[in-house]
Amino acid sequence: MDKYIEPDAKEHLRQLLIKLSQAGQKMMLASHSHFWCVNAGMNYVVGDDWRDPFDLVIAAAGKPAFYTQSRPFLELSVHTGRVKCKPI
């Protein structure tokens, strides 16, 4: 990933997320990518605790329809990779 991501950008993004979170900002990450892809990239850039600053992480959002259509959210277990059947 070093070929695509500048090393300085990693620490800058991590520090920005920490500062925003400590300032009480509510943060959401919404990505069109599936969780395994978001997780791999964010682990690399921010670290294993990348989800900590976020109040909500949405993967496989299906943008732009995500913003205009009412669809149920499904919860993914980050430990097993399984999707819980009940909408949340």
Each residue's pLDDT tens digit, 22-60: 999 999 999 989 899 999 999 998 999 999 999 999 888
For CA atoms 16, 21, 23, 28, give the dihedral sign.
positive
Supply the pLDDT for residue 75: 82
Could you give the percent of the chain with pLDDT greater than 70? 95
Task: Name the amino acid, one letter, at 73.
Answer: F
The rounded mean pLDDT for the chain is 85
Report residue 17 CA to chain centroid gap: 12
Supply the pLDDT for residue 4: 80
Supply the pLDDT for residue 86: 62
Each residue's pLDDT tens digit, 52-63: 999 999 888 887
Supply the pLDDT for residue 69: 81
